[in-house]
Amino acid sequence: MRKKSWRRKALLLAGVLMGTAVLSACQSVEGGSAVREEQTVGDAGFRQDPPQHWSKQELRDTVLICLVRHGQTVANAEEILADGSMDSPLTDQGKAEALRMGKALAEDDFRFDFCYASGLGRAMRTAGLILKGDQDESVHAQAKHGLNDVLLGKAAGRRQEEVLKEFGENAIAEYTYSVPGDGFESPLGAEDKLHFVRRFDRAMTEVAEESLEKMRIQGIASNRGPQVLVAAHSSAAFWLSWKFPSSGVTNLDNVSATVLLYRNGQWYLRYVNELDYDNLASKLTELWKSNI
């Protein structure tokens, strides 16, 4: 692999963190297109697989979560660093891709039982468009502020080039590379990464446990657990890499799906950064089907 200058690495990582057009631009300079991460359980040796066959009760106690990054925003398109302190509207492309995911799920008769999103408009709007495409008017997105994007301090709302010029070409890269709990203090005044992954982890656990409780209260007769849509941000990749340290998760594309299972406090990562909407429903339901 060719060595990259810190300048290029910083720009690449800025794209990873914020999901901006800089990532694509840097990859074009390298002469290649973006490689989509579509890892399966079999590809990654980073955690125990769930049991091959679960009992009916175990299936009812399992939460299926489809974690989706919001659609492309104006800030993404204009290479502006939007964080958890600000919002940015979806572009036409962002809206269209969210609708397309929902329509693809509807064509395969897949429906979500519940939906959560960060409290930021770009995530709420993305969740609403997916549900609209899925033709499901009975489910609405519930805000969960613990899912909000990471806070970028002095970098928020500014163009990446300006931030790198003022704080140094490694400022974003060093923050992105830092490990939660290692004591790294960002010159940007960005949110402590350990604080972020812990609040995101609490929010995701709340989503799973609340969904199980809702299923029980509603008395829905089913041989499976709740199917939940969660709309968040690219910074969810920090939580995924912290929760599954050997997974190699570094980036989440706009309107990509990451499939997780939750049962008895244990998380299982099934697929990462899925963009093949036509086959998404089969990947979401494979656990239920394999235990019929």
Angle value at C-alpha 196, between 242 and 38, nearest 5 degrees: 40
Which of 167, 151, 155, 161 lies closest to 200 in space, CA to CA?
Answer: 151
- If we measure between CA atoms, which residue out of 216, 208, 258, 265 comes closest to residue 44? 258
Distance from C-alpha of 160 to C-alpha of 133, rounded to nearest angstrom: 34
- Mapped onto helix, strand or coil, the DSSP state of residue 267 is strand
**Dihedral (C-alpha) 90, 93, 96, 100: value to the nearest 10 degrees?**
-120
Residue 8 pLDDT grade (very low, low, confident, very high; cuts 50, 70, 90): very low
pLDDT tier at 281 (50, 70, 90 boundaries)? Answer: very high
**Among the listed residues 151, 121, 162, the one whose alpha carbon sits nearest the alpha carbon of residue 22:** 162
- Indicate the pLDDT class of residue 51, thresholds 50, 70 and 90: low
Most confidently modeled range among 29-43, 164-178, 193-207 = 193-207
- Residue 288 confidence (pLDDT) above 70: yes
The model's confidence at residue 38, banded by pLDDT at 50, 70 and 90, is very low
pLDDT given for residue 248 in this prediction: 85
The pTM for the full model equals 0.84
Averaged over 87-92, what is the pLDDT?
A: 98
Q: Which of these ranges, 47-56, 111-120, 198-207, 278-287, has the smallest mean pLDDT?
A: 47-56
Contact between residue 32 and residue 193 where contact means Cβ atoms under 8 Å apart: no
User: CA-based angle 244:285:65, to the nearest 5?
Assistant: 45
Phi–psi pair at 252, nearest 5 degrees? -125, 120
In the predicted model, what is the mean pLDDT of the chain? 84
Q: How confident is the model at residue 42 (pLDDT cuts 50, 70, 90)?
A: very low
pLDDT of residue 292: 55
Where residue 6 falls among pLDDT bands split at 50, 70, 90? very low
* Percentage of residues of the chain with pLDDT beyond 90: 65
H-type alpha helices, 156-279: 160-167, 171-177, 193-218, 236-243
pLDDT at 9 over 80: no
Lowest-confidence region among 35-39, 188-192, 226-230: 35-39
What pLDDT does residue 246 have? 84
Type of residue found at 234 = S
Query: Are the C-beta atoms of 255 and 94 separated by less than 8 Å?
Result: yes
Q: All domains of the chain, ordered by start, with CATH?
A: 37-151+191-290 (3.40.50.1240)
